[in-house]
């Protein structure tokens, strides 16, 4: 299965886009919810912990996240957001009220990680905060006061409460979500009802201290195009962004999603085929948005995406802890390529979720930490953040299994500020390598990095933290005006062309 069966030929032509499109760094965004061990243990260990920390935030995880330049972080949910009452998470930690996290295992939430701790995390990371407000079980007043608490510099009750809790200067709040999955865990609303609620709640999300908070409306679940139609027709002029959620399940069956690590080629292929659906979703929702917003002022915010498997055996199923293999690296590469290619509409995306939950970047085990194959793709792809999109016309073989065919190669490319071109290519085929001939831009491949592994389901684990890690890529050469790359089976390669 894992031996190369000869290289197949493919061709890639790069060209500037007809109109200049900037790849928003926010496409490389993340999401951290009060769920399982994402916040507690994953990001926050508390100020009394023996694990090295900065004001309660664990240093090893901070270091890993800083390295990949997390541009934006979404919090506190997810489903948790619509039962979160922000006032429970401010003031002295020992007196904060507890609550039950009803969505995620009924565990007791002590509210030790609240607004100040989240903003501190964002400031440490240099990430923009994206806070999701409570529409499902919260009041308009509660939402209004939260925004005032965070951002006002007036002599007002909320700003003074923030000062009393130790923060003199207003926080910078870049993005505010008005509810999460309001069609489901956020209130089971019909789109018409949510559109009205969005308009009402959003009216009271005010701008203070000269800030302009970008407001994001709850968008569709997968291919629910009717949701997008209603939201765009009834509330477009009140929003800066409209979200979209789509998770990749190997089986497409929520009752038996498939294992994160125990899978064969059929599930590998099915997973990649399902993740490629993101292309169709972004295009179709984008076409509806274009009808109402032809100038593309409203961003598509894919604020939950990634793989969702059966929870790791022996762990609490409500904590959504799953391992992460080379397959997840390919899923990441495909989705990031899609978001890059649609950067004229997609202005943010947030992988679910940062630490220990779903398709995580980082896994922790008490004081130990490791980075996943997914993390390494974000590391390789950070060269695209803020770049100018290039068209990548790929002509290559398909990867067929049974009755289904998917493209063997998947790519995107951008130019950075210094004029250097970065090309990222994923080879989805686990058996066959490809010889890719690249042309269209001046210059040649001069360096590259490669992520692959011996087996499709190789992962990093405690005791084998570096089994899957990026290596230098040197299988390229010049041929006339072209660069020829030899891409191994099941790999992600990012090269620089100069
Ligand atoms: O990311 C896990 C959950 O998936 C989120 O809480 C919810 O928004 C979605 O259904």
- Chain segment 52-87, per-residue pLDDT in tens: 999 999 999 999 999 999 999 999 999 999 999 999
CA of 470 to the centre of ligand 1 (A): 30
Instruction: Give the position of tokens 């799953």.
Output: 322
Tokens 């076409």 correspond to what residue?
287
The class level of CATH for 8-16+390-497 reads mainly beta
Say if residue 5's pLDDT is above 70: no
**Cβ contacts of residue 345 below 8 Å, gap of 6+?**
282, 286, 289, 290, 296, 299, 300
**Rounded to the nearest 10 degrees, what angle do helices 191-203 and 140-151 cross at?**
40
Q: What is the mean pLDDT of residues 392-420?
A: 96
DSSP characters over 194-225: HHHHHHHHHHT----TT--PEEEEEEEETT-H
Q: pLDDT class for 442, splitting at 50, 70, 90?
A: confident
All CATH 3.20.20.80 domain ranges of the chain, comma separated, are: 25-386
**CA–CA distance, 355 with 161 (Å, rounded to integer):** 31
pTM value? 0.97
Q: C-alpha angle with apex 407: 405 to 412, nearest 5 degrees?
A: 160
Mean pLDDT of 38-65: 98
pLDDT band at 398 (very low <50, low <70, confident <90, very high): very high
Per annotation, catalytic residue among 123, 304, 465, 498: 304
CATH code 2.60.40.1180 region(s) in the chain: 8-16+390-497
Q: b vs e for 314-323, b when ≥16 Cβ sit within 10 Å of the residue's Cβ?
A: eeeeebbbbb
Q: Which residues line ligand 1 (CB under 6 A)?
A: 33, 77-79, 180-181, 304, 352-353, 358
Ligand 1: atom nearest CA of 77 is 6
Quick check: 281 pLDDT over 80?
yes
Residue range 403-426: average pLDDT? Answer: 96
- CA-closest residue to ligand 1 atom 3: 78
The string of pLDDT tens digits covering residues 308-342 is 999 999 999 999 999 999 999 999 999 999 999 99
pLDDT at 211: 96
Q: How far apart are CA 310 and CA 212, in angstroms?
A: 41
- Output the pLDDT for position 19: 87
Q: Which CATH superfamily is domain 25-386 in?
A: Glycosidases (3.20.20.80)
Distance (Å) from CA 78 to ligand 1 centroid:
5
Please identify which residue in the block is written with the tokens 């965070």.
150
Q: From residue 294, how far is each of 291, 365, 443, 488 by CA, in Å?
A: 6, 48, 36, 41
pLDDT at 4 over 80: no
CB atoms within 10 A of CB 206: 12
Q: Tell me if 183 sits within 8 A of 121, measured CB to CB.
A: no
Report the residue among 32, 33, 305, 356 best suited for mutation to probe ligand 1: largest number of ligand atoms under 8 A from its CB: 33
What's the mean pLDDT in 27-38?
Answer: 98
How far apart are the C-alpha atoms of 81 and 89, rounded to whole Å?
13
Protein residue with least CA distance to atom 2, ligand 1: 78
Judge contact between 17 and 391, C-beta under 8 A. yes
Residue whose tokens read 């890993």:
64
Pairing state between β 72-75 and 128-133: parallel
What mean pLDDT is predicted for residues 253-270? 98
Determine the Cα–Cα distance for residues 172 and 166; give it in Å rounded to an integer.
Answer: 16
What is the CA(287)–ligand 1 centre distance, in A?
25
Q: Check residue 122 and report its DSSP letter.
A: H
Q: What is the pLDDT of residue 2?
A: 35
């Amino acid at each position: 299965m894992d031996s190369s069966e000869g290289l197949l030929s493919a061709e890639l032509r790069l060209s500037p886009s007809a109109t200049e499109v900037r790849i928003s760094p926010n496409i490389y965004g993340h999401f951290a919810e009060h769920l399982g061990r994402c916040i507690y243990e994953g990001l926050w260990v508390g100020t009394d912990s023996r694990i090295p920390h900065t004001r309660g935030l664990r240093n090893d995880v901070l270091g890993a996240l800083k390295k990949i330049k997390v541009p934006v972080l979404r919090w506190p949910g997810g489903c948790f957001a619509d039962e979160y009452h922000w006032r429970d998470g401010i003031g002295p930690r020992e007196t904060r009220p507890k609550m039950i996290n009803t969505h995620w295992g009924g565990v007791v939430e002590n509210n030790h990680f609240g607004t100040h701790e989240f903003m501190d995390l964002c400031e440490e990371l240099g990430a923009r905060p994206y806070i999701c407000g409570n529409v499902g079980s919260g009041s308009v007043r509660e939402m209004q006061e939260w925004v005032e608490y965070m951002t006002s510099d007036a002599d007002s009750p909320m700003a003074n409460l923030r000062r009393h809790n130790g923060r003199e200067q207003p926080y910078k709040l870049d993005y505010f979500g008005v509810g999460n999955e309001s069609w489901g865990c956020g209130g089971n609303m019909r789109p018409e009802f949510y559109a009205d609620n969005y308009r009402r709640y959003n009216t009271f999300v005010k701008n203070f201290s000269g800030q302009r908070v970008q407001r994001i409306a709850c968008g569709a679940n997968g291919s629910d195009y009717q949701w997008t139609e209603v939201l765009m027709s009834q509330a477009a002029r009140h929003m800066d962004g409209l979200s979209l959620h789509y998770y990749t399940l190997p089986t497409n069956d929520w009752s038996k999603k498939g294992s994160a690590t125990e899978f064969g080629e059929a599930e590998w292929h099915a997973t990649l085929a399902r993740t490629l659906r993101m292309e169709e979703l972004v295009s179709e929702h984008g076409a509806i948005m274009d009808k109402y917003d032809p100038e593309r002022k409203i961003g598509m915010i894919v604020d939950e995406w990634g793989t969702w498997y059966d929870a790791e055996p022996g762990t609490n199923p409500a904590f959504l802890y799953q391992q992460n293999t080379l397959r997840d690296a390919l899923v990441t590469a495909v989705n990031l390529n899609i978001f890059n290619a649609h950067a004229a509409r997609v202005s943010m995306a947030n992988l679910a979720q940062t630490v220990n939950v779903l398709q995580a970047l980082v896994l922790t085990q008490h004081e130990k930490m490791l980075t996943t194959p997914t993390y390494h793709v974000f590391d390789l792809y950070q060269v695209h953040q803020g770049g100018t999109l290039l068209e990548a016309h790929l002509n290559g073989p398909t990867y067929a299994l049974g009755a289904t065919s998917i493209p063997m190669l998947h790519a995107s490319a951008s130019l950075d500020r210094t004029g250097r071109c970065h090309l990222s290519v994923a080879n989805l085929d686990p058996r066959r390598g490809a010889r890719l001939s690249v042309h269209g831009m001046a210059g040649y491949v001069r360096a590259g990095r490669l992520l692959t592994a011996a087996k499709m389901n190789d992962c990093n684990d405690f005791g084998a933290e570096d089994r899957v890690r990026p290596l230098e890529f040197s299988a390229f050469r010049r041929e006339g005006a072209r660069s020829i790359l030899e891409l191994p089976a099941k790999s992600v390669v990012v090269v620089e062309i100069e």
